[in-house]
Structure 1
Amino acid sequence: MQSKGTLKMLSKQELKSESAESWGHGSLPFVLEDDISKQALLLTELSKKVINMGQLRRIASQGIPDGAGIRSTVWKLLLGYLAPDRSLWSSELAKKRSQYKHFKEELLMNPSEIARRLEKTTVLNNDNGKSESRCVLSRSEITHGEHPLSLGKSSVWNQFFQDSEIIEQIDRDVKRTHPDLHFFSGDSSLAKSNQEALRTILTVFAKLNPGIRYVQGMNEILAPLFYIFKNDPDEEMAACAEADTFFCFVELLSGFRDHFCQQLDNSVVGIRSTITRLSQLLKEHDEELWRHLEITTKVNPQFYAFRWITLLLTQEFNFADSLHIWDTLLSDPEGPQETLLRVCCAMLILIRRRLLAGDFTSILKLLQNYPPTNISHLLYVANKLRGQPSR
């Protein structure tokens, strides 16, 4: 059995009899230390006054060990939420968390707040008018902007109804987020609290981004970030996980936001263009497999790659393996977009024999239910695709 700390070399069957040497630059891209060694290396790097981001990326790309809150801190650095200069962390975090609190106060509306505003308006109107008799009830005038049927942009009721529509859509998805994890699912106070945090983050994001609002699947991208930050052993960090997650979510989504904009689906930056790039990448590195999938069996890559790409592979592997993949995605100095496509291409190459032997139905079933695989080996193959000449 393959040991956890070593990489399996590429087999001839997996890569059409190509040698491992021909898929690389003469040496393995990753030299995996065991978890204890990697943890020590990361802790040493994180303890420096100014962190060497190149070194951090190199170590983190191999997979970040669980524990000690390492992944939480490293992801924040990789996403640019924390600066390499540790002396800036305290002030920057305080500023961002205060900003998020302000966003919630300004953007989230609830019935009690509406009632408070209406009561204030009523008091002001009554003070300005004079009652003819104390025995006669005064008639309060509700301003147009405060009327429940008002559609004006400044109407608090209109804002509330808009929020309700967004929250209802978000709520349906949040309740379905990782039903296999007690952290997100169930009736426990922990699960309910975590679900509420996800709802709040997604609602604030939707309000700040009216061009995109909320799109189904964003909850799946948000979940790993919140899970990691909320489980930080540092109590202060864990307590502020919601705010930290929001800003890291915004940063991560900035590289993929065009995939969630329906108006851009057919543009050069839309999801269909990205899927086409995946198809081209496969053709460059394994034309036989590409031809079998798209010409012979006519399996449109959108049938499987749409979910792979838009959800950043969160649904194709177990949660722990997804986190490992994200370690590599976030560590790429060029950004996660191209690395994601290489990983998707590697997923196809690793099961090429089964794909070449299949028909439309069996291929689609296999790709929509990707089989368990060695994640370290998958990422190794993906890295081999980097900068390789066309075949």
Structure 2
Amino acid sequence: MASSPRSPQPAELEISRQSRILAALSKKVIDLDELRMLAAQGVPDGAGVRSTVWKLLLGYLPKDRALWEQELAKKRSQYEAFKDEFLPNTVGGSSTPGGSEGHSDGNAEHVENGFLDRSEIAQDDHPLSLGKTSQWNQVAEHSEMIEQVDRDVKRTHPDIHFFCGDSSFAKSNQNFAEADSFFCFVELLSGLRDNFCQKLDNSAVGIRGTLSKLSQLLKKYDGELQHHLEITTEVNPQFYAFRWITLLLTQEFNFADIIHIWDTLLSDPDGPQETLLRICCAMLILVRKRLLAGDFSSNLKLLQSYPPTNIGHLLYVANKLQ
């Protein structure tokens, strides 16, 4: 009696996806449709290529591999120019917080032997100044913000060595990570910026319009749940989904699961918002029994502190809502 074929183990599937992604990235001209399909299933952590995949999906890197080095050099040079233009310099100095020495050519005509002409310095501009226009105060505030972000990341992710230790990856990419992250963030927000524009809040494309789309999506696929949630218990989407949408679910799951979700979000050729709404809708459907049995307070508590879930299954349900 012939034995039935053995189902591939999770580790084998991971290796298979990893090899397929590596093959896709090795082509002279990247096939973005193929890469999106592969990345939507999750980029294997062991491949060490997620940063490259995300840069391609966000449009930061061109499809032609031959242009990568030129484009990266151009963007990184542009970022240095942005820092020189917008970040405050210490008075009479040449260093920019987070930047490098020797980028003060634009101020050279005002500086002689490392000192500004007295006429260039306001009377209240000194190291202890708290004035809004004080360059010293701007430098201090900028440094405080960086320190606060660093503390928050370490506090939020104490179990991740990358954020809490001196990882070799962080050291080797120190010169470029800031510039690359900036431009990737710009590309990411380009498809979501209307949610953050206060003037558009009450329009069809603003955050309230986005929340309304989520409500309509839930009504389409589970009218009973939508009615109970919003009419019977009066738990409106803005009470829980505002955070889900504006923070791209980064507060609802652990870090590893968030990365997997973002693999899927960034794989949508039309931008992340539609996929994000389907994932939010799937989150509601997966806890429908508890929501249908709950009242205002219990449902609000549940959705503001979403329970641990199988991310693979969540994304599967979200994909079925297309």
Q: Same fold (TM over 0.5)?
A: yes
What does residue 3 of structure 2 align with?
none
1:174-210 per-position Cα deviation (integer Å, ceiling 9, x unaligned): 5223343455765x5x39xxxxxxxxxxxxxxxxxxx
Q: Any conservation in 1 of the 2:132–2:138 contact (CA below 8 Å)?
A: no
Give the Å deviation of 1:256.
Answer: 1.5
Q: 1:147 aligns with which of 122, 143, 161?
A: 122
2:20 aligns with 41
Q: Secondary structure at the match of 1:176?
A: helix
- CA distance, structure 2, for counterparts of residue 5 and residue 379 of structure 1: 20
Match of 1:290 among 206, 226, 238: 226
Aligned to 2:64: 85
Higher relative contact order (CA 8 A, sep 6+): 1
Q: Does the CA-based 8 Å contact 1:316-1:370 persist in structure 2?
A: yes
The one-letter code of the counterpart of 2:86 is L
1:241 corresponds to 2:177: yes
How far, CA to CA, are the matches of 1:67 and 1:271 in structure 2?
A: 37
Tell me the CA shift for residue 251 of structure 1: 0.6
Structure 2: where are the runs of 5+ without partners?
Answer: 1-6, 96-103, 126-130
CA contact (8 A) 2:14 2:44 kept: yes
1:123 to partner: Cα distance: 5.8
Distance 1:352 1:264 in 2: 32
- Does 2:295 correspond to 1:352? no
Q: Give a deviation string over 1:21-76, Cα, whole Å, max 9, x none.
A: xxxxxxxxxxx981100000001111110111111111110011002322111101
Q: Which residue of 2 aligns with 1:200?
A: none
Deviation at 1:268, TM superposition (A): 2.5
Taking the aligned partners of 2:216 and 2:181, their CA distance within structure 1 comes to 34
1:301 aligns with 2:237: yes
Aligned to 2:101: none
Q: 1:346–1:382: 8 Å Cα contact kept in structure 2?
A: yes
Post-superposition offset of 1:296: 0.5
Query: Are 1:314 and 1:322, in contact at CA under 8 Å, matched by a contact in 2?
Result: yes
- 2:158 equivalent to 1:180: yes
Identify the residue that residue 130 of structure 1 maps to in structure 2.
none
Percent identical: 60
Distance 1:293 1:254, change over 3 A: same
1:352-371 alpha-carbon deviations (Å, 9 max, x no partner): 01110111111111111111
Separation in 2, partners of 1:85, 1:120: 42
Find the counterpart in structure 2 of residue 325 from structure 1.
Answer: 261
Structure 2 vs 1, CA of residues 253 and 86 (structure 1 numbering), >3 Å: closer, same or farther? same
- What secondary structure, in the 3-state scheme, does the structure 2 residue paired with 1:63 have? coil
- Separation in 1 of the partners of 2:147 and 2:13? 40
Alpha carbons of 1:171 and 1:278: their partners in 2 closer, same or farther (altered >3 Å)?
A: farther
Amino acid at match of 1:246: F
1:252 to 2:188 alignment: yes
CA offset at residue 112 of structure 1? 5.0
Q: Which amino acid aligns with 1:298?
A: E
Which residue matches 1:133? none
TM-score, normalised to structure 2, is 0.81
- The answer to whether the Cα contact below 8 Å between 1:114 and 1:157 also exists between their aligned partners in 2 is no
Change (3 A) 1:148 1:276: farther
Residue 35 of structure 2 corresponds to residue 56 of structure 1: yes
**1:385 counterpart = 2:321:** yes
| Preserved contact between residue 42 and residue 260 of structure 2 (Cα < 8 Å) | yes
Given that 1:316 and 1:369 are in contact with CA atoms closer than 8 Å, whether structure 2 keeps it comes out as yes
Q: Offset at 1:172?
A: 3.5
Question: Which protein is bigger by CA-based radius of gyration?
Answer: 1
Q: Is the 8 A contact 1:308 1:344 kept in 2?
A: yes
Paired with 2:23 and 2:108, the residues of 1 have a C-alpha distance of 58
Cα 1:113–1:286 change in 2 (3 A) is farther
Residues 69 and 231 in structure 1, CA contact (< 8 A), matched pair in contact too:
no
Distance 1:123 1:66, change over 3 A: closer
TM-superposition CA deviations, 1:336-386 (whole Å, max 9, x none): 010000000000001101110111111111111111111111111111111
SS at structure 1 position matched to 2:152: coil
Q: What's 1:265 paired with?
A: 201
- Secondary structure at the aligned position of 2:306 is classed as coil
1:109 is displaced (CA, Å) by 1.8
Q: Judge conservation of contact 1:147–1:157 (CA < 8 Å) in 2.
A: no
**For residue 289 of structure 2, what is the amino acid of its counterpart?**
R
Q: Partner residue of 2:4? A: none
Q: Matched residue of 1:258: which SS?
A: helix
Contact 1:321 1:375 in 2 (8 A): yes
> In the alignment, which residue of structure 2 is the partner of 1:65?
44
TM-score with structure 1 setting the length: 0.68
Q: Give the CA RMSD over aligned residues.
A: 3.4
Q: Runs ≥4 in structure 1, deviation > 6 angstroms?
A: 3-6, 115-120
Alpha-carbon separation, structure 2, partners of 1:331 and 1:344: 17
